[in-house]
Amino acid sequence: MVNAFPFDDRFFRTANMNAIGFNRIVGQLEGLWNEDRTERQETYPPYNIINTGEDTFRIEVAVAGFSKEEINVEVKEQTLTVSGEKNELETKIKEESFVHKGIGTRKFQRTFKMADYVEVIEADILNGVLTIECAQKIPEAQKPRKIVIGLGGENTQDKKKELLTEKTENIN
């Protein structure tokens, strides 16, 4: 099997040595690494993940033969699950008249791990392709900001008082 990640097990042993506060992310990566190596990956239905912008993504899943009503898209605990199941009665009636059946319509479930702050914006089916639009919406408090180094004195003390007042107001 080809290594899908540009690192090996040593990465996880040493990752927290030079990083502060990344232990949860490193744990998630290690979980994905181990899951990929131990679980048999399903290949049905095929899918694409497309980067459509700086913080936007599109997932395309081939669902030919399925209607909107037979597809379920759900997000739970940072896992996006796409599943589909054909109506049994409808399938039995149609199968009796097939001469050849090459379009797969078996029950499926495909999961995608989602990073922090990634949200599903919308989903739609067109021409047998389920399209799921996602965006990473990082809160302002999490975005990088410039830290001004104070010179000491009154301005610094006033700023500290202001920050403490803001925190107290946010708690109440």
Q: How far is CA 6 from CA 2, 3, 31, 68, 138, in A?
A: 11, 7, 15, 38, 26
**pLDDT higher at 170 or 111:** 111
Indicate the pLDDT class of residue 1, thresholds 50, 70 and 90: very low
Q: Residue 56 pLDDT > 60, yes or no?
A: yes
- What is the C-alpha separation between 68 and 81, in angstroms, rounded? 15
Q: Residue 3 pLDDT > 60, yes or no?
A: no
32: CB partners within 8 A, 6+ apart: 113
| CB 26, CB 12: distance < 8 Å | yes
For residue 128, give the DSSP letter: T
Q: Residue 6 pLDDT > 60, yes or no?
A: no
Q: Residue 41 pLDDT > 90, yes or no?
A: no
